[in-house]
Amino acid sequence: MAIYSKEDIITLLQEAGLRVTHHRTSVLSFLVKQRAPVTVYEMIDSLRKKEGIDQATVYRNLTSLQEAGLIKRSDFNHGHAHYEFETGRPSHQLVCNNCETIEKIDGISIDDTVKKMLKKSKKFKRTTTHSMEIYGLCKSCA
């Protein structure tokens, strides 16, 4: 997962047209290191302790990074947001209905299905992103 150096992060921000601030770099670096979506709470907790970043700053950077397409938000019907780094490759999630377990599964594309949906649509001509989430009980909760 450490395939992104600090310089890579900076390049990503610049190419996205975002200012390279210390805090924004930290927020994106944090997400690059994760294996699954993390809650905003976890990010605030970690980033405040380690670098003294304020929660408002974390929220504002998450918003700007998402608008730039660098990270992906998923609520999982939990009533709070989770974020993960956007790799550009297909990735979807299995979500436990009982605990906070979220398993990412990479490499399964649903582009064909998305195309079918778009063909049937009356209100959309094109789309930009999509998400697929599968819910159930994880092995330890079952």
Partner DNA sequence: AGTTTCTTGCAAATAACTCGCGTTTTTATT
Partner DNA sequence: AATAAAAACGCGAGTTATTTGCAAGAAACT
Among 29, 42, 60, 94, binds DNA (CB under 7 A): 60
**Spacing of C-alpha 42 from chain mean position:** 13
Cα–Cα distance, 78 to 98 (Å, whole number): 11
125 contributes a contact to DNA by CB under 7 A: no
According to CB under 5 A, which one of 98, 113, 121, 127 is a site residue for Zn ion?
98
Are the C-beta atoms of residues 87 and 72 closer than 8 Å to each other? no
How many residues bind Zn ion, per CB under 5 A? 6
Q: Which of DNA, a second copy, Mn ion, none binds 124 (CB below 5-8 Å, type-dependent)?
A: a second copy
Segment holding 15, helix H or strand E: helix 6-15
CB of residue 115 to a second copy, shortest distance in Å: 10
Considering CB distances under 5 to 8 angstroms, the limit depending on partner class, which of Zn ion, Mn ion, DNA, none binds residue 56? DNA
**Tokens at 82, concatenated:** 């989770």
CA distance 94 to 101: 8
By CB under 7 A, residue 55 contacts DNA: yes
